[in-house]
Amino acid sequence: MLEVRGLSKHFGGVRAVDGIDFAIRAGEVFGLIGPNGSGKSTTVNLVCGLYQPTNGEILFEGNDIAAVPTHRRLSLGLARTFQNIRLFANLTVWENLWMAENAPSHRAEAGFLRRWVGGRGNARHRIAEALEFSGLAHRADDLAGSLAFGEQRRLELARALAAKPKLLLLDEPAAGMNAEEIAQLDERIRALQQQGYTILLIEHHMELVMAVTDRVCVLNFGRKIAEGTPAEVQANSAVREAYLGTAN
Amino acid sequence: MDFYYSLAQIIGFHTLLGLSAYIVLQTGQVSLAQAGFFAIGAYVAGMLTVLAGWHLVPAMLVAGIAAALMACLVGFPALRVRGLMLVIATLAFGEAVRIFFFNFDYQIAKGGVQIGPLGGEGFRQIRWFNEHGWTSLQVMLFVWAVVIIVAGALWWSDRSRFGAVLRAVGEDEVAAQSVGINLTAVKVTAMTIGGFIAGLGGSIYAHYTTHIEHLNFNVLLATFAIAYPILGGLRSVFGTIVAVIFVQGFLVEGLRFLGDWRNLLFGALIVLAMNLRPNGLIDAATAQRLARLLGRDQIGREQFGREKRRA
C-alpha cells in the first residue's frame, strides 16, 4: 500500500531521516518506533506532504506521490492525526468532522453549490456515526477547544476517519493518555483493522505497539536499524542498544 | 432627521468595508488592502455614472467586479506571505492604489464643463442621487438594502461548509491542509469576495459624498476596515455591524461634544473593549450561547434529541 524507498530529509546539516526503506501491506498495522529525535514524525510529515523529501521516493498504491500537494493526499486516501493535537479549536466538534469530509466520494455526492453553500444534510448521517464511534455524540455542538484532552485525541482520530482514508497515519496517539484511555485506544485500533483500514502507528508506548502491530520498523538517528514482528524486534540487540545504551 | 439618515448611510458603507475585511480575516489574514479596493470601487462606479451615464446599480456591480479582480490578482502573490509580512505587503498595495489615484487624470467635457477625476484635486460631481431626485431617506434605504443583502449572504456562508472552511484555515493551516483543504484557493477566494464587497462599499461612498480624492482612502481607512471585525468578533457578521455602529455612531458622532478629548477617549474605549472582550464583542462562545438561546443552529439537533430521550 505504502512503500518508502531511500527516503531522506536533511535540515541543513541535520539528517533527520537518512535513507530509510519500508513497505506497508494493505490491511496491516505497521509500527514505527525509535527513541526521541530518531525521525519518526519527520517520516510521517514526509508521507503526508508537509515536508518535501531531500531524496527518495514515496509510493502510495504504486504511484510516486512526491509531487502531489498535501491537500490532495487526503483524497488519495492518506489521513493523519497529529502528535500535538491540531484541532480547529473554535469550530464545533461537528464542524471539525465536517471539514474532513473531503474524500472523492464526498466531493462527488453533491454539486458545487450544494456542497459549498448548501445545508448540512448530506453529512449528518455519516458524522453521527463517526461521533458514535468515538464516543463524542453528546459533545457534537461544543467547541473543539473546550473538550477534555482525551476527548480531543478521540476527535482527532474521528476527524482522520471522516475522510474515509485507506491508510491512517497515527502520530503518537497515546501521548498523554492514562492507562484506561490507552486500553480504549488499543481496542479502537483493533476495531479499525477489522474494518479494513491500514494503519501506520508511531508510538512511544511500547506495550501498545507490541500489542496491536503486525510488524514494526525501528529508527535511530534517522536510519532504520530493525524491522520485523514485535517479537523479533524485541529480541534484536541493535534495538536494545538504541533504547537502553550499550552494556559497557 | 437628515443628520440621522446621513449617519445611517455612513454606518452602511463602513459596514460594507468592515465586512470585506471580515471575510478575509476569517482565513487568518490581516489585509490592509481593503481601503485600496474601496477606492477602486469608488472611482470606477463614479466614472461609470458620471462619465458614461450609467445607472447606479450596474455601475456598482461593475465597480465591485473590478475591485474583486484586483483583489484576486493581489491575492495570489500576497497570500504567499504571512502575518506581519502580509500586513506590509497589503499596506504597500493600498498606498500604491492611493498614489495611482493621486496621479490619475481622466476628464471629458460635458455640458461645457470638464468633469472626471483630476489627480490631487479629486473627482467631483458624483451626483447621481441628486440628479435622480432621491431623498436622503431613499438613499439610506437603498444603502441598507445593499448592506442587508451582503450581510445576509455572509451570514449564510458562516453556516455553510464554505464559511466553516474559511474559519478552519484561519484556525490552523497545517491541520486544514491535512484534511484536504486547498489553502491558496480558499485564501484567494476570500480575498476576491472581500474585494467585491469593498468595491460595493466604495461605490456607495463615492455617491454619498459626491466628491472623492485620494486622501479619503489612506491607511486610516484601511485600519478602520480591519478594526471593525476585530472589535466585533470574527464569529458573526452582527459583531462587525455592532462594531461599526459603536465606532461611527457612538465614538465618532456621539462624542463630538467632547471636542479634542474625543480622540483620546476613542483610543481608550477601543483598548478597553479589546481587553474586556479579547475575542471581539461577539466571539465564538457568545455566538454559540446566542444560538442556543434562540434554539437554532443545533447542528446535530435530531441526534441530540435522541441522546436526551435515551438518557
Is residue A6 within 8 A of residue A55, CB to CB? The reply is: yes
What residues of B are in contact with residue A117 (Cβ under 8 Å)? 156-157, 160-162
Whole-number pLDDT of residue B311:
41
Please write the tens of the pLDDT for every residue from A79-132. Answer: 999 988 999 998 999 999 999 988 888 888 888 888 888 778 778 888 998 898
- Backbone conformation region of residue A63, classed left if phi is above 0, alpha if psi is from -120 to 50, else beta: beta
Answer whether residue B167 is part of any domain. Answer: yes
Q: Which residues of B209-238 are buried (b: 16+ CB within 10 A; e: fewer)?
A: bbebbbebbeeebbebbbbbbbbbbbbbbb
Would you call B307 and A138 a contact, using CB atoms and an 8 Å cutoff?
Answer: yes
Total tally of structural domains belonging to chain B: 1
Could you list the pLDDT tens digit for every one of the 311 residues in chain B?
888 999 999 999 999 999 999 999 999 889 999 999 999 999 999 999 999 999 999 999 999 999 999 999 998 887 788 778 899 999 999 999 999 999 999 988 887 888 888 888 889 889 999 999 999 999 999 999 999 999 999 999 998 999 999 999 999 999 999 999 999 999 999 999 999 999 999 999 999 999 999 999 999 899 999 989 988 888 889 999 999 998 888 888 888 888 778 778 777 877 787 788 777 777 777 777 777 777 654 444 444 444 444 44
Would you call A163 and B284 a contact, using CB atoms and an 8 Å cutoff?
Answer: no
Whole-number pLDDT of residue B298:
46
What is the DSSP pairing of strand A198-202 with strand A215-220?
unpaired
From the CA atom positions of chain B, what is the Rg in Å?
21
Answer whether residue B66 is part of any domain. Answer: yes
Please write the tens of the pLDDT for every residue from A121-136. Answer: 778 888 998 898 888 9
Q: Is the pLDDT of residue A176 over 80?
A: yes
**B126 CB burial (10 A radius; 0-12, 13-18, 19+):** buried
Answer whether residue B203 is part of any domain. Answer: yes
What residues of A are in contact with residue B179 (Cβ under 8 Å)? 74, 79, 99-100, 102, 159, 163
A154 touches chain B (CB under 8 A): no
What residues of A are in contact with residue B177 (Cβ under 8 Å)? 49-50, 70-71
B310 touches chain A (CB under 8 A): no
CA atoms within 13 A on the CB side of B85: 6
Separation CA B47–CA B31 (nearest Å): 26
What residues of A are in contact with residue B235 (Cβ under 8 Å)? 90
Whole-number pLDDT of residue B54:
94
Would you call B299 and A94 a contact, using CB atoms and an 8 Å cutoff?
Answer: yes
Nearest residue in chain A measured CA to CA from B164: A95
**Mean pLDDT value across residues A156-161:** 92
Separation CA B211–CA B123 (nearest Å): 6
Whole-number pLDDT of residue A202:
93
Amino acid making up residue A243? Y
Closest by Cβ to B300, choosing from A87, A102, A128:
A128
Q: Could you tell me the residue ranges of all domains in chain A?
A: 1-77+165-248, 88-164
Whole-number pLDDT of residue B164:
93
A positions 20-79 inside 8 Å of B (CB): 48-50, 69-72, 74-75, 79
Answer whether residue B257 is part of any domain. Answer: no
Answer whether residue B294 is part of any domain. Answer: no
Which superfamily does CATH assign the domain made up of A1-77+165-248 to?
A: P-loop containing nucleotide triphosphate hydrolases (3.40.50.300)
All three cell numbers of A136: 463524542
Kind and range of the H or E element at A47? helix A40-47
Answer whether residue B79 is part of any domain. Answer: yes
C-alpha distances out from residue A9 to A41, A45, A73, Å: 11, 10, 19
Separation CA A64–CA A61 (nearest Å): 9
Residue B110's domain comprises 2-217
Please write the tens of the pLDDT for every residue from A46-65. Answer: 999 999 999 999 999 989 99
What residues of A are in contact with residue B156 (Cβ under 8 Å)? 117
Whole-number pLDDT of residue B202:
97
Answer whether residue B207 is part of any domain. Answer: yes
Whole-number pLDDT of residue A248:
54
Answer whether residue B126 is part of any domain. Answer: yes
- Identify the residue whose cell numbers are 531531500: A54
Nearest residue in chain B measured CA to CA from A48: B178
Whole-number pLDDT of residue B295:
64
